Amino acid sequence: MKTLFALTLLLVMYAPRLFANGVAMIDAHTPTYLELDSTLIEVSVEGQISTTRTTQYFINTGADATVKYGFPLSEQASAVRLRWLVDGVWRTASVTGGSQDTTLPGGGAPDADLVAYLGQTPLFFSIPQHIGNGSVLAVELTYVELLPYAFGDVSFRYPGDYHLIQSGPLELQRFEFFLSSQRTIDSIVVLSGHTIDQITNNGLSASVGIEDHEQPAGEDYLIRYTLNSNELGLFVYSTVHADTVVPDTNGKGYMTFIAEPDPGPTTESISKVFTLIIDRSGSMSGTKIVQARDAAAFIVQNLNPGDRFNLIDFDDIITSFRPSHVEYTTGTRDSALAYISSLSARGLTNISGVFSTAVPQFATASDSTANIIIFFTDGQPTIGITALEPLVRHVDSLVAASETRINLFCFGIGGDANGQLLTLISSHNRGLAEFLGTDELYSRITGFYLTIRNPVLLNSHISFSPPVVSQVYPDSLPNLYKGKQMIVAGRYEEGGAVEITLSGTAFGQPVSYLYNVVLSDTVVTGNQFLPKIWAKRKIESLLVHYYGLNPASPEAASLKAEIIAISKAYGVLSPFTSFTGVVTGVEDAADVVNQRPADFALLGNYPNPFNPSTTIRVQLNVSTFGELEIRIYNTLGQVVRVLRIVLHGRGTYEIPWDGRGNDGHDLPSGIYFYGIEIGNSVFVGKMNLVR
């Protein structure tokens, strides 16, 4: 192993950023894996936004094998790059249309420990080459993530406990954590039991270093840091695209701002009208119903004076603590706690019925209060309205009939919860959906409640003066709460001074907060995560709209094609894309045009909309010769036309398209996408053919 250890030292300079150890699977049933020899991990955090890369080195101690790589990616993380090393050559995977192949290698049922380790949202990648006996396989994965935040505390977890996969020691485990912040870092601590090699905190930057030799990977890495609670307001991160090429026409600038109100006692909280909906169907038996009772009791004990509340529990029968919301007093609190203690799991799952009871109770509430529902369930609807679209329409119609703005927060417990349903009904009603393991119910729901306990701004809206910022996501802003941040991503064409207005209502009166910021007009090296964050946020917004449509409809097909195009252009995976072993990296790609992305610019097409023809324009900034291919896609993601031009050095090239398919026939009116692959990047444009 010493030879491989020397190799890892030579390659460590190429390993900026972090996550869990992956598994190189030969047979998931037996189970048979490549031996994990070393792991090099570094995480870089700006405020609360992390960019992570982990590199694992495996050794094949057995016969030649085909390997599938699996990685326990968290639901909140978005993978943005994957490379692998075989026979001393690094190759970079492409992002391609098509959901990832989730089948595991080998016959029979997969090993239970493997399934537990990979979790609910693993990433998979099939290594194209055979791995010979004694050979080394390295896999490097990069991802971005918004870290959990509450009241100044930010949490980072690295699931480094690998004992379910391999009990033996690793040659090297190196963990490096780098943090910079516009707010003062009050403290940074390592909560896990690792021996710390170094930890620093200089106020606006901090770091942690941990290194182990010949030790088993038997413990998660846990870090918590605290940002100063007196330095609140709005913080902006901005940059222009690092390359001369921007993969769309929305502007060269990317910005993300983080806003947070003062959590101190002088900031008044808006009263809540609050309902907790508790699933007590039969599948909630055992630990889940115990945690559900404990979570409900915690929430009831932490309501605020002036709040009105109710509890509704359901299986196939719906029961309400009170017929309508009641004022929070010591008397109603104690009665609610006694009610909660009697809950037990039984029966079927009537989701439509419980909302038919819960939502009309808000008809007497006003928009001067924060009207909130927290709903959790561990299963599919089995009685009442069970089909997805009618059930979503049912909830939406109930809210509309109440004539009240309700914020609906949904929690799906375990692998059987209907994620699409929960995402749709929450997004339609100014909330969000989260998904958790069966043992996380109490901690996640109580933690979330504390972040929405104290609303300070309702009906939030944002504007910019001058109006230079566009493509802002999320497109429907949440309420603002004490101790909880609002994170917004957007695009701009030119940098400069901008006034941001965050407005809404508080205590029935309009409220506005003004912030003067300067958007960068140059590349900010430390902010190159921003294009990925923007793409991630836009994909999430489009997915919400997509899931509300019939997948067979033209509208859904168009959205799916747009999501795929963004995913490929920005290298951020989506449910409709995956990493493929078709190499795009310059290490061994056989592309005719083999230049860095900075050498190439996509200038769009004109006219747009067009009839009957348009011209696509590209710019080449280096002397390159050969054939370049432009593919035209319809909204189903199908290639309808392939155009080719011959490059003969630097310059601007114009590629006309006559609106016809490869068969020479006129294509119908609609949205079309054109894509050009060059170097490590895919550049995509959107055009509208109007007959």
CATH code given to domain 272-385+393-453 = 3.40.50.410
pLDDT digits 0-9 by tens, 226-275: 998 777 778 899 999 877 778 888 889 999 988 876 655 556 788 899 99
Q: First CA to last CA across the chain, in angstroms?
A: 66
**pLDDT confidence of residue 681:** 54
The CATH code that applies to domain 591-689 is 2.60.40.3080
Q: How far apart are CA 377 and CA 526, in angstroms?
A: 41
Beta bridge partners of 658: none
What are the percentages of helix, strand and coil residues in the chain, rounded to 5? 20, 40, 40
- What pLDDT score was predicted for residue 262? 64
Checking if the pLDDT of 373 tops 70, the result is: yes
* pLDDT given at position 273: 95
CATH assignment of 2-225, among 2.60.40.3680, 3.30.420.40, 1.20.1250.40, 3.40.50.150: 2.60.40.3680
From its phi and psi, is residue 72 left (phi > 0), alpha (psi between -120 and 50) or beta? beta
Residue 464 has pLDDT above 90, yes or no: yes
The pLDDT-based confidence of 527 (bands split at 50, 70, 90) is confident
pLDDT above 50 for 17: no
Judge whether 2-225 and 591-689 match in fold: yes
More confident residue, 631 or 273: 273
pLDDT reading at 13 higher than 50: no
- DSSP three-state, residue 251: coil
Mode of pairing for the β-strands spanning 308-314 and 272-279: parallel
Question: Hey, what are 437's tokens?
Answer: 């393991």
- Looking at per-residue confidence, does 82 or 448 come out higher? 82
Q: 174 and 40 in contact (C-beta within 8 Å)?
A: yes
pLDDT in tens, 127-163: 999 999 888 899 999 988 888 888 889 999 877 889 9
Residue 591: the pLDDT is: 29
Average pLDDT over residues 268-291: 91
Nearest to 478 by CA among 501, 455, 447: 455
Look at the block and give the residue holding tokens 């190799």: 7
More confident residue, 319 or 669: 319
Average pLDDT, the chain: 85
3 state DSSP class of 7: helix
φ, ψ of residue 380 in degrees (nearest 5): -85, 155
| CATH topology classification for 233-263+456-532 | Immunoglobulin-like (2.60.40)
> Does position 73 have pLDDT exceeding 80, yes or no?
yes
| Residues 379-423 pLDDT 10s | 899 999 999 989 999 999 999 999 998 999 999 988 788 888 998
Tens-digit pLDDT profile for residues 566-622:
998 888 889 999 998 765 443 332 223 333 334 566 777 888 788 889 998 887 766
Q: Are 630 and 597 in contact (CB under 8 A)?
A: no
Per DSSP, 597 falls in state G
Residue 610 vs residue 105, higher pLDDT = 105
Domain ranges of the chain: 2-225, 233-263+456-532, 272-385+393-453, 591-689
- DSSP-assigned letters across all residues of 98-147: S----PPSSSSSPPHHHHHHH-SS-EEEE-SS-B-TT-EEEEEEEEEEEP
pLDDT of 65: 93
Single out the residue of 506, 504, 511, 516 nearest to residue 464, CA to CA: 516
User: What is the distance between the alpha carbons of residues 599 and 243, in angstroms, rounded to a whole number?
Assistant: 8
**Is residue 14 pLDDT above 50, yes or no?**
no
